[in-house]
Amino acid sequence: MSKIVVSVIGLDCPGVVYAVSSTLSTLECNIEEVSQTILKNQFAAIFVSTKPDSLDNGIIHDAIANAIENRGMHLSVTIRDFEEGLRNVESEPFVVTVDGEDRFEIISAFSKIFADQKVNIENLKALMPEEQKRALLVFEIALPMEIDRNALRRTLKDKARTLGLQLSMQHRDIFEALHRVQPV
């Protein structure tokens, strides 16, 4: 068995996950992990799956593309061999939230700081309602242990201040404890 990555992107409609997962199952591929989201009616998903070594990626691609097309869906499919990460850096999970008036450079400004510091963004959610002219960004980052957290926090806060934004940086455990919805 070998691993593949299947990515699917396009116009959302009910049944996309079923079309992909049932096709993979029929081909004796086992889904190990999946992440999917919908943004403004656009579907995006990544499936990490094992496949029989004798099964060609082109056959998998064609089978999924046909399943999608037969259901009248409008999505693109990409299949590639799974690659292991180059390095596994010991890190801690942090959440950085940015809030304020929407500007063109918000995502690039903060992602540049993370890139310069070799901080991996593991998840990013950016909400920018057009009618409100506001932006809310939630960066989930893997902060390497050797990075000075206070120095990074100061750098991020300085950038937020120059852009007229509010910023918060918390360990993920603290963030989740503060934002957990409790039953009433």
d(CA 129, CA 132): 6
Mean pLDDT per block of 10 residues along the chain (184 residues) reads 96 95 97 93 96 96 96 96 80 94 91 95 86 87 94 96 95 76 66
The pLDDT of residue 89 is 77
The pLDDT of residue 54 is 95
Is 122 in contact with 171 (CB distance < 8 Å)?
A: no
**Superfamily of the domain at 91-179:** ACT domain (3.30.70.260)
The pLDDT of residue 52 is 96
Token pair belonging to 14:
């009910």
The pLDDT of residue 175 is 76
pTM, entire model: 0.80
d(CA 139, CA 169): 9
The pLDDT of residue 177 is 73
The pLDDT of residue 184 is 65
Domain with CATH 3.30.70.260 in the chain: 2-81, 91-179
User: Class assignment of domain 2-81?
Assistant: alpha beta
